[in-house]
Amino acid sequence: MSDNPLLAPISSLIDYAAIRPEHIEAAIPALIDEARAAVELVAVSSEPPSWQTIVDPLEDASERLWRAWSVAGHLNGVLNTPEIRSAYNACLPAITAYSTWVGLHQGLYGQYRRLRDSADFAKLPPARQRIVELALRDFRLSGVELEGEARTRYTEISDLAAQVSQKFSENTLDAVDQWELLITDETKLEGIPADVVAAARTAAADSGREGWKLTLKMPCYLPVMQHARDRSVRQQLYRGYATIASEQGDTRYDNSGNIEQLLALRAEEAALLGFDSFADMRLETRMADSPAQVLEFLRKLAARAKPHGQRDLAELQAFAQEHLGIADMQPWDVAFVSERLREARYAYSEEDVRQYFTEERVLNGLFEVVGRLFGVSLHNIDASVWHEDVRVCDVRNEQGESLGTLYLDLYARQGKQSGAWVDSERARRRSASRLQTPVVYLTCNFSAPQGERPSLLTHDDVITLFHESGHALHALLSQVDDPAASPFASVEWDAIELPSQFMENFCWEWTVIQSLSAHVDTGEPLPRSLYDKMLAAKNYQSGMQMLRQVEFALFDMLIHHRNSGLSITEVLATLDEVRQEVAVLLPPSWHRFPHNFSHLFAGGYGAGYYSYKWAEVLSADAYAAFEEAVEVAGDGTRDTLDAATGRRFLEEILAVGGTRPAAESFKAFRGREPSLEALLRHSGMDEEIALH
């Protein structure tokens, strides 16, 4: 199909609007055949081993395939129609089989070994030497040294695991999309922000009904849980969200069997490759040395955070009883009580703040921050998109040269996976004739504009946008000319969150807040008095929040640090044990958090969720360099947008991608090993509280 947008030259942007599901089903098999042929040619070549005879031909053939598959996967996540899902699922087994086949290809493995052992290897630049060494490691982790039945079984496991992960993802999406609560009594909506109520009214009307349709999508769920005065409404939404894709909810989408199957397959894969557990296998490619080191790190954080979490909870319970008449605070009351206590203690609400963060103003402010730190600018361009809400930006350096293309898809909608993420369509690559620049997707699920009223972001939404922009910048500002050493290809997983978490810090700086905010009605920037209240509340409930993340990470590491799979009963028992150890707030027995934990079971975070906290240590310490570089003004303000430090961060962290170990990049930027102290200080936990 010469008119197939997915077969366009790698140098051109994809015509997203023209893609139809049949294009996916036609392009992927054709590109797999092309890539297989290239692999076979390289594998039997008797030419002297060199970068040009081994790596380049493989990159030429595979990058078109992976670009097309990235587009298919992206559309499956943001435009999940039955036809796109069907086309994606039809191609998934072939893609998995191809990946497994390459990883098990002994001839190709032999060529990489020949290259590593050749006299020319020492003449390669360090980045290319590292690519070859990492390729050899990945071959071994892909089972290339397996023989006979073990080799056959490894192939089966790879195929099954991919399909089960996809089914897990589909179940969570469908369970959220299908759930609704139709309200016909307007008094039950008391307290919910007006724009959320208006959106619920529109949603009901769109389905041909009177009333208000509440859903589990974040732009509806969170404000309802924070503001709905009707306790029964909060309870129904909480129960709906807590039982997504489980036997406690709509059983058509129950993920119990998928979780059991994935854990069994992962344990079996690790055993085949000679590892004690899936966690041990995963950490072969991480900064952390062992599961024991990770567990010790997490428990150390929990020990520091738990007294703060206990204090947070006690304050909530006392406030609920004294001021709200809630003597038996339940989990569905926590967000509501937290918001009332925040209002009482700091005299503002999230809803007050939200009026100042219009999408356009926040984006312009973000672009300004990026410009000052890294010397780049973002310019809106016309390009073909998959949905009318998507905007496209050309990222340029100070000389006006294009560094890459960024697609922004920011609003929640039906058929779009929840959450926020960044992915890459193609990586930077330099050849003799040209420079190919990266193409990156940044996806969020914010409230869409309502009529003439623009999209309003909570401060948490602003932080999310800055977080994802850090990931996007990592890919867009890379100066790595070989895709195999690009940030998303070879930076250790537990360091990949460093740039994203680093960017979050700027959302708390007064000078930045001024550039991000303009009241939706008056255009006035956020007042200093309100900012001071936000800053005072910055570490509000930080103990409970840190314990929640440690809980997820410990649960993840413990269920994957086993030499066999687990039944769903054992999975839930493990989670209960973790909660008894670190949590201060225990959910009901019917809560089914794992069934919606897509990071673990449909993303790349299995045995890796700890990386959020691991990287947070790195990011807090990296941001401390910006704090140290500025002088505080007489009124207590400071401007951490220090260009010189920003350029060093660009040169030592962002630009180098995976050309060297992340620990070396951090040390090059900071001049020393990372310290836990900056994270504790930023979280308001630099002073220890005694447990009681």
Q: Which strand (E) or helix (H) includes residue 285?
A: none
User: Contact 49/115 with Cβ under 8 angstroms?
Assistant: yes
Catalytic residues: 468
Measured from the Cβ of residue 317, the count of other Cβ atoms closer than 10 Å reads 17
Q: How many CA atoms lie within 13 A of 216 on its CB side?
A: 26
Rounded Cα distance between 135 and 27, Å, is 27
User: Contact 28/94 with Cβ under 8 angstroms?
Assistant: yes
Token couple for 691: 């447990």
Buried b / exposed e over 325-349, threshold 16 CB at 10 Å, is ebeebebbbbbbbbbbbbbeebebe
| C-alpha 402 chain-centroid distance | 26
> From the CA atom positions of the chain, what is the Rg in Å?
25
Residue type, 565: G
Token couple for 207: 């389905």
Largest Cα–Cα separation, the chain:
81
User: Contact 150/272 with Cβ under 8 angstroms?
Assistant: yes
Which phi-psi region, left, alpha or beta, contains residue 678 (left: φ > 0; alpha: ψ -120 to 50)?
alpha
Output the pLDDT for position 691.
44
Output the pLDDT for position 687.
67
Output the pLDDT for position 669.
98
Q: Which strand (E) or helix (H) includes residue 533?
A: helix 528-536
Rounded Cα distance between 434 and 261, Å, is 46
Q: What is the pLDDT of residues 204-256, one digit of tens each?
A: 999 999 999 999 999 999 999 999 999 999 999 999 999 999 999 999 999 99
Output the pLDDT for position 677.
87
Residue 391: helix, strand or coil by DSSP? strand
| C-alpha 348 chain-centroid distance | 30
Q: Which residues pair with 436 in a beta bridge?
A: 429
Q: Read off the pLDDT of each residue in 153-173 and give the average, rounded to a whole number.
A: 96
User: Contact 306/543 with Cβ under 8 angstroms?
Assistant: yes
362-376, 478-492, 536-550, 620-634: segment of lowest average pLDDT: 620-634
Rounded Cα distance between 153 and 272, Å, is 9
Measured from the Cβ of residue 637, the count of other Cβ atoms closer than 10 Å reads 14
Tokens 């290259």 found at:
115
Q: For the residues of 310-351, what is the DSSP string, one character each?
A: HHHHHHHHHHHHHHH--SS--HHHHHHHHHHHHHHHHS--HH
Q: How far apart are the first and last CA of the chain?
A: 69
Residue 568's pLDDT band (boundaries 50, 70, 90)? very high
User: Contact 201/189 with Cβ under 8 angstroms?
Assistant: no
Residue type, 27: A
Helix ranges, 104-230 (H): 106-117, 126-141, 148-178, 194-206, 218-227
Output the pLDDT for position 633.
59
Q: Read off the pLDDT of each residue in 632-650 and give the average, rounded to a whole number.
A: 85
Token couple for 196: 């959320």
pLDDT at residue 114 greater than cutoff 80:
yes
Output the pLDDT for position 634.
61
Q: Rounded to whole angstroms, what are the CA distances from 349 to 336, 359, 391, 569, 603?
A: 11, 19, 31, 40, 34
Rounded Cα distance between 138 and 208, Å, is 54
Rounded Cα distance between 88 and 21, Å, is 8
What is the torsional sign of CA 461, 537, 297, 665? positive
Residue 80: helix, strand or coil by DSSP? coil
Q: What is the pLDDT of residues 28-77, one digit of tens each?
A: 999 999 999 999 999 999 999 999 999 999 999 899 999 999 999 999 99
DSSP letter assigned to residue 450:
B
Q: Could you tell me the pTM of the whole model? A: 0.90
Q: Which residues pair with 409 in a beta bridge?
A: 443
Q: Which strand (E) or helix (H) includes residue 11?
A: none
3-class DSSP string for 452-518: CECCECCHHHHHHHHHHHHHHHHHHCCCCCCHHHCHHHHCCHHHCCHHHHHHHHHHHCHHHHHHHCC
Q: Residue 586 burial by CB count (10 A; 0-12/13-18/19+): exposed, middle or buried?
A: exposed
Output the pLDDT for position 329.
97
Rounded Cα distance between 70 and 62, Å, is 12
Contacts of 664 (CB under 8 A, 6+ apart): none
Q: What is the pLDDT of residues 265-309, one digit of tens each?
A: 999 999 999 999 999 999 999 999 999 999 999 999 999 999 999
Q: Rounded to whole angstroms, what are the CA distances from 617 to 98, 297, 301, 459, 659?
A: 38, 11, 11, 22, 22
Higher pLDDT pick, 691 / 230: 230
Q: What is the pLDDT of residues 502-512, one digit of tens each?
A: 999 999 999 99
Residue 380's pLDDT band (boundaries 50, 70, 90)? very high
Domains recognised in the chain with CATH numbers: 5-145 (1.20.1050.40), 179-243 (no CATH), 253-348+543-601 (1.10.1370.10), 359-536+611-682 (1.10.1370.40)
Q: Read off the pLDDT of each residue in 455-473 and give the average, rounded to a whole number.
A: 97
